[in-house]
Structure 1
């Protein structure tokens, strides 16, 4: 029987999308999509990753409860869109750097020994075909 893998609790992120809200009681119940609760997936020092957001810790109000840390953000929708966009840009840069590190996939400007041998071989075969025919 396989053991159930225990997930490490890094905390939760609570995003209030009403910029004027200072606490949960300030939110209007008629507003659409005003709160989002996400688990923290990765703690990168100054930033935390939750869902498809990479959020700076300096913008959060950090609270604690018996389940762990809670990062509370009072943000507007443009802020969230920009944070999500920056997370995608960062991911694309990391993926690009993973495949373009020095020594791999780097274009070489001069031919190597194998290419010189191939060139000489093709030249000799061409010369032999001309003089033999």
Structure 2
């Protein structure tokens, strides 16, 4: 389940206006359910009546489609990373084998 902030994104594109809830925001991006917008492309306006912020994004349809592809790409990367969990540990680790060799040598020296 996704936790939403009280903030909204006001998307103005061509001849329509959409108000979308902000799912996540950081210093670089504003994320909604369908799009990721760069913070640099949005104008932040305070809504004193509700106590939240409206991020206004004035964009064309190709820009909006690109933001949607960016969102899909970030979700695909997250899913890929979930399935590749622990892949780093499976790679050849020379330190492990060196420590194993030292352990075997110590065992033989203590037995003899």
Q: For the residues of structure 2 that align with 1:10 and 1:62, how far apart are their CA atoms? A: 14
What does residue 16 of structure 1 align with? 12
Gaps of 5+ in 2: 93-112
Is the 8 Å Cα contact of residues 53 and 87 (structure 1) preserved in structure 2?
A: yes
TM, length-normalised to structure 1? 0.58
Q: Which one has the bigger helix percentage?
A: 2
Structure 1 segments (4+ residues) deviating >4 Å: none
What is aligned with 2:35? 53
- Shift in alpha-carbon separation, 1:91–1:37, aligned structure 2, 3 A: same
1:98 to 1:63, Cα distance in 2 relative to 1, 3 A: same
Cα separation, 2, equivalents of 1:97 and 1:48: 21
Paired with 1:45 and 1:98, the residues of 2 have a C-alpha distance of 24
Q: Secondary structure at the match of 2:27?
A: coil
Query: 1:107 Cα shift?
Result: 9.0
CA RMSD across the alignment:
2.4
The two structures have a TM-score, normalised by structure 2, of: 0.68
Q: Which has the higher strand share?
A: 2
> Gaps spanning 5+ residues in structure 1: where?
1-6, 19-30, 109-133
**What do the CA deviations read for 1:61-89 (whole angstroms, capped 9, x no partner)?**
11101221110011000000011011101
Q: Which has the larger radius of gyration?
A: 1
Q: Give SS of 1:51's match.
A: coil
Distance 1:35 1:55 in 2: 15
Compute the displacement of 1:14 (Å). 0.4
Contact 1:14 1:71 in 2 (8 A): yes
Structural mapping, 1:108-119, within 5 Å: none
Between the two proteins, the alignment pairs up a number of residues equal to 88
